[in-house]
Amino acid sequence: MTVGLVVVSHSRKIAEGAVELAAQMAPDVRFYPVGGTDDGRIGTDLERVAAAFDAGLGEASGDGVVVLTDLGSAVMTAESAAEFCSEPDKVLLADAPVVEGLVAAAVAAQGGATAAEVKAAAEAVRFGPEPAFGPAGTAGSQGRGEPADSGEFELINPMGMHARPAAKIAGGLAGMDVEATVNGADGTSIMELMSLAVGKGDKLRIEAWGKDSSKAVDYVRRLVEQGFGEI
């Protein structure tokens, strides 16, 4: 079982749409979209948000729920609702954009990450690459010395690197204690990975620094070898 994910939006359509998108990449993750008021208007409803937190804590049976919010008052409603729910300490609000953050969180949750790791995966999207990384293609090993671990793998899935593989790589790496580049791009950035535009038959080179570097290389190797689950 995995960490549950709650989306709090002013709009029912945004909450449900973001969940629809992210659920494609995370079939085992439980999502709780809460959008709009109980009479169908734009707004947020504390009672329903608190109920979603409790449902997530009770059903999803990870070590907590991670919450994505849209505009300011959704954050305030989520914070208030957390105070009212059964286990406030297990409700983690991610400071991340709803769509990209939810996708990264979903992929991390699907991979069995803890609530804190899922939150970190969502927030890595928002804060983007470390300043030292530089733009895609230039990071390499400059200033960081030789990578602790690395690997090069040929893409075998017919679609190559597109949104879903990028999200799987980024989400998984964001939950690890590692700095990693893929063909020079920040391994935790879905956008940078997608912009690599590598197709079937092209090679992905991952270089990793930090405690989880061998785990990170192994993670990417497995994804590539399994064709990102697309074959």
Partner 1 sequence: MGLGVEWAVDWLTLSARRIAEHREELIALDRAIGDSDHGENMDRGFQAVMEKLAQSPPETPGAALKLAAMALMSKVGGAAGPLYGTAYLRAATALGESTDIDAAALAGALTAARDGIVARGKAVLGDKTMVDAWSPAVEAADEVLAAGGDAVAVLAAAAEAAEVGAVTTDPLVARKGRASYLGERSAGHRDPGAASSALLLRAAATAAGFPEGSAE
- Within the chain, strands assigned E span 4-9, 31-35, 65-69, 91-93, 149-154, 179-182, 185-186, 203-209
**Distance in Å, CB of 95 to partner 1, minimum:** 12
Candidate list 1, 13, 24, 47; residue touching partner 1; CB under 8 A: 47
* Part in contact with partner 1 (CB under 8 A); list of ranges 18-26, 35-43, 104-112, 178-186: 35-43
Residues in Cβ contact with 39 at an 8 Å cutoff, skipping those fewer than 6 apart: none
Candidate list 11, 44, 69, 150; residue touching partner 1; CB under 8 A: 44
**71-100 mask for partner 1 (x: CB under 8 A)?**
xxx--xx-xx--------------------
Helix (H, G, I), strand (E, B) or coil at 171: helix
34 strand-pairing partners: 8
Decide the pairing of beta strands 91-93 and 65-69. parallel
Q: Per CB under 8 A, does 37 bind partner 1?
A: yes
Toward partner 1, which CB reaches closer, 40 or 201?
40
* Part in contact with partner 1 (CB under 8 A); list of ranges 16-24, 34-42, 125-133, 176-184: 34-42
Toward partner 1, which CB reaches closer, 17 or 43?
43
Candidate list 45, 149, 192, 212; residue touching partner 1; CB under 8 A: 45
Q: Per CB under 8 A, does 16 bind partner 1?
A: no
Structure tokens that stand for 216 in this block: 């990170």
Structure tokens that stand for 36 in this block: 């709009």
Q: What is the DSSP letter of 60?
A: I
Candidate list 20, 24, 28, 41; residue touching partner 1; CB under 8 A: 41
Q: Among residues 150, 140, 143, 137, which one has the least CA distance to residue 197?
A: 137
Neighbours of 146 (CB within 10 A): 9
Q: Which of residues 174-203 bind partner 1 (CB under 8 A)?
A: none
Q: Which residues bind partner 1 (CB under 8 A)?
A: 37, 41-47, 71-73, 76-77, 79-80
